[in-house]
Structure 1
């Protein structure tokens, strides 16, 4: 009886937490269907006459699909490079024993301990010397460097839980380290890879600071910086702003639903070891 009661308590708490998390998203969607005057008159109420006028104004005022394309290119490239280099570094740290491995692992962890924004001036000069300033490559390189420490931290732990008998059997069959990494271990790492992919994609997609510093060309801006033009000194069209925020959240929702199974397996894997 007590176990049944505790289940109901946990279910109620989960429902309350879900409502709290989904309410801002629902409010954003509802506000995008209102006029600007109605948002101020009834900020929490349902729209009296839902309209898509704010979405049409958004596409007329801004090159919004260009911002979407830039954000997708930067996010996809940064996530891919982070997974690639992070997985290779994690494989090395977890499977090859060298005296400098602990120091190398700590070096990667320092990338999470030290805020990268503290070095924004040297980074700016470095990007200018590479001649990638005001290009999407500057963002891709920065976000890859930001994501690798987190990827190494997560993936190296997963690599250590893999039985070494798999690799030994593969080596007996003539597989090289590259084939073992690509064809045996990586397919088994999908939960961890999915976890890193979702966390880093959301970080890159929502970042405002680095595109503001490194990108000045209007055609190269990402969504967070591009949406800044909707704010004026004296007034802001909130309905158009909410419409842009609603559209910009769709790729993250799609990614989460596609990779949610791997994500949940990844964050709960340590509980069953």
Structure 2
């Protein structure tokens, strides 16, 4: 493939990404009539009326807080449990470690929809429906295979002498994990945290399945309020999408350096 053809393909791809993004961002400053009459045009003014409407909506603010609680708790607990599991898997020699690792990451191959009925019945019997605790638990379980997949790949590249050095100094496995493995695994943890944050923050399936109480709705579920059976308020919906996407963009900007380092660290064996 020539350099010109690659540029043409990349240019087409950039347009496919940029055009919907421009429509969404400019649509936040338009009325429904303006959006449908000129979807690709610039807004006639930059009055932040839609942002004011969404931000002053009490239910949206409550849903935003719910998303922060669920996502923050789920990301931290998934990182903690996943890093411990990855640390153990990295130290198990031979086929046994690979067998356990394969069993744990097999969850990535199972569609979430295949487990919806048994999960709902289980949560109903445990009294976890309409509960942020239940939502946190299901987010942890659903994303744990991804976390183990990324972090185990990195921790297996760490030289075995690193673990042996801790043992020689008298450190037990727990101390080795805290003082040696975690500090050198920060790039991998940051990359995993971004993946988990994006998946869990944007998740609509599990809140839609397990949450019926309006006071327990997360932000993606609350955005459905702008979509009706016969009419959808697209300017308010676009505004809600932009607000919901802001934390992800901010997190990526601040963790980009760690994200790139974490994704490339496990590609070369140390």
TM-score by length of 2: 0.91
CA deviation map 1:183-233 (0-9, x unaligned): 111111112111211111111111111101100111110111111111122
Change (3 A) 1:11 1:157: same
**1:184 and 2:143 aligned:** no
The whole-number CA distance in structure 1 between the counterparts of 2:101 and 2:265 is 22
1:222 corresponds, among 207, 218, 222, to 218
1:96 corresponds, among 92, 97, 114, to 92
The whole-number CA distance in structure 1 between the counterparts of 2:18 and 2:112 is 31
Residue aligning to 1:143: 139
Structure 1 segment 224-239 matched on structure 2, within 5 A: 224-239=220-235
Alpha carbons 2:29, 2:48 under 8 Å: kept = yes
Q: Unaligned stretches of 5+ in structure 1? A: none
2:150 corresponds, among 144, 149, 154, to 154
* CA displacement at 1:56 relative to structure 2: 2.1
CA deviation map 1:99-129 (0-9, x unaligned): 6433311211221111132121111121122
* CA displacement at 1:95 relative to structure 2: 0.7
The whole-number CA distance in structure 2 between the counterparts of 1:187 and 1:13 is 41
* CA displacement at 1:22 relative to structure 2: 4.3
1:72 corresponds, among 47, 65, 68, to 68
Change (3 A) 1:253 1:146: same
The whole-number CA distance in structure 2 between the counterparts of 1:76 and 1:11 is 40
The whole-number CA distance in structure 2 between the counterparts of 1:265 and 1:10 is 26
The whole-number CA distance in structure 2 between the counterparts of 1:112 and 1:189 is 22
The aligned length equals: 268
Change (3 A) 1:15 1:254: farther
The whole-number CA distance in structure 2 between the counterparts of 1:165 and 1:142 is 37
Over the aligned positions, Cα root-mean-square deviation in angstroms equals 2.2
* CA displacement at 1:272 relative to structure 2: 4.4
2:204 corresponds, among 192, 205, 208, to 208
The whole-number CA distance in structure 1 between the counterparts of 2:53 and 2:220 is 18
Change (3 A) 1:9 1:177: farther
The whole-number CA distance in structure 2 between the counterparts of 1:264 and 1:194 is 9
* CA displacement at 1:23 relative to structure 2: 4.1
Residue aligning to 2:32: 36
**Bigger mean CA deviation after superposition, 18-27 or 28-37:** 18-27
2:245 corresponds, among 249, 254, 263, to 249
Residue aligning to 2:52: 56
Change (3 A) 1:158 1:112: same
Change (3 A) 1:166 1:103: closer
Change (3 A) 1:171 1:270: closer
The whole-number CA distance in structure 2 between the counterparts of 1:98 and 1:125 is 39
The whole-number CA distance in structure 2 between the counterparts of 1:207 and 1:34 is 27
1:174 corresponds, among 170, 174, 192, to 170
* CA displacement at 1:96 relative to structure 2: 2.4
